[in-house]
A and B are shown apart, each in its own frame.
Chain A
């Protein structure tokens, strides 16, 4: 019971504890270590002494003490440097002390996400660091989620922290000029974590961390911090609407069930309602970005009682808008499917032709899978088989490959 409480408290408090430490001591790696030690101290003391009235203050106090102890134990030169840093906190004039509970609940989480999504870092590093520092996952959990050894993930994280240090990254809100790009990076990171979690649930490995839910939790916090940010709202809506399909997405054998064949009664209506409500709040405001458009497409699917009843005309219009706002080969692929459903397979196939000459798409299984599907609809069995075969060759996803091979067998080729 206490174990469960502890885990919940930790996940909730981690960004605030780190935030408080960072305001005072600056270095992300040191602060994370100290926060982790405080969490370990809580794990041994709380089951005996009970959970303190103010767990956050307790954790901050213990972590600060550890940080100071460690500083004292280090060499004289390192000690001078650390004390010097401690004497000059980043924003000493405005920040509350490390032991106080700051009134900047949401800001801490967002600020920490902004720090972890610093442009000096690669996307995978931003993702790993955000899961570690903001979501409060252990290195072992993150390593398990991405199927790499703990040592590999540890190296990736320390390289990321060193890069932040070298770049002089600060625990503060980015400037007005930097803000839009940084929010976009934060949303991309959240969305990457989400899709990772979402595709993984179709696989054979059970991971003890629900990445998709973690991503929704983070995006929700960004949305709370920036309620007027249309794309933050859109990203949250998109994740909720996609997550709603989860129970119908795999069959009992763990194989992928395509949208067309999903049992829609298993979709989570509550998540759909929430996603649609968020969209209704943001769409009339005018600025329409890629996440809102993707969410709108997901909402149109959610509203159809069957695949056949889908409003393909509306979806093809939305994809057309998306291909202008955020052109990408995958958008073209989906656009082609929608157009094929609305106007017939040959119109859809024509949209795909330019992709065949794009080097980046030559190894993309989705291009061949979509072509195969449209060719099959058009009765071109031989060409469809050839494309299913090519798609199965280039995909690296096991469930996807099983699905494609099944389609191929069904064609009898």
Chain B
């Protein structure tokens, strides 16, 4: 079953990996930061080797976004960011895993200080019973 793992974050300045630009992450002792980064690398290569990772992208600065709203029967363009929320969509991963439990296990390992990880099931024609 397919899930999207969404990373909501606000690196300053905007950059990837987001952890390098987050105060909450920068404030950690070096060995802890090193461990967290290594764990992230590990879950990524594990997903890849298992054939569970379908894809993912790191997204550009939300300030660089272009927004299109519908007005008087046609699109009206303006510049971003889309929302004034304190976190923005910074990147996403699409995974295809055996169960919801596995998806939750993976998503938890994407979590880090200073950002929010959101796990959402993907809708599809066949659908799953979970």
Q: Residues of A at under 8 Å CB distance from B?
A: 122-124, 146-149, 152-157, 159, 196, 199-200, 202-205, 330, 363-366, 395-401
Contact = CB atoms under 8 A, between A and B. Distances in A.
A154 B51 CA distance: 7
B125 A200 contact: yes
A149 B127 contact: no
Given A155-B51, A396-B130, A397-B124, 10 more contacts: A147-B2, A148-B51, A148-B96, A156-B50, A157-B51, A200-B125, A203-B124, A204-B125, A395-B127, A396-B123
Most buried by B among A124, A363, A395, A396: A396
B98 A155 contact: no
Contacts of B75: none
Contacts of B130: 363-364, 396
A157 B51 CA distance: 8
Interface of B: 1-2, 48-55, 96, 98, 100, 121-130
Contacts of A152: 51-54, 96
Contacts of B51: 148, 152-157, 159
A322 to B, nearest CB: 17
Contact of A202 (B1, B123, B125): B125
B125 A397 contact: yes
B50 A397 contact: no
A190 B53 CA distance: 25
Most buried by B among A149, A152, A159: A152
Contact of A398 (B1, B50, B52, B125): B125
Contacts of B125: 200, 202-205, 397-399
Most buried by A among B50, B55, B100, B122: B50
B54 to A, nearest CB: 6
B49 A155 contact: yes
A149 B126 contact: no
Nearest to A122: B98
Contact of B123 (A157, A330, A398): A398
B12 to A, nearest CB: 34
B106 to A, nearest CB: 15
B55 A400 contact: no
A377 B63 CA distance: 53
B126 A196 contact: yes
A363 B101 CA distance: 12
B120 to A, nearest CB: 10
27 contacts: A122-B98, A123-B98, A124-B98, A147-B2, A147-B124, A152-B96, A153-B51, A155-B49, A155-B50, A156-B50, A156-B51, A157-B51, A159-B50, A159-B51, A196-B126, A200-B125, A205-B125, A330-B129, A364-B129, A396-B1, A396-B121, A396-B124, A397-B126, A397-B127, A398-B123, A398-B124, A400-B127
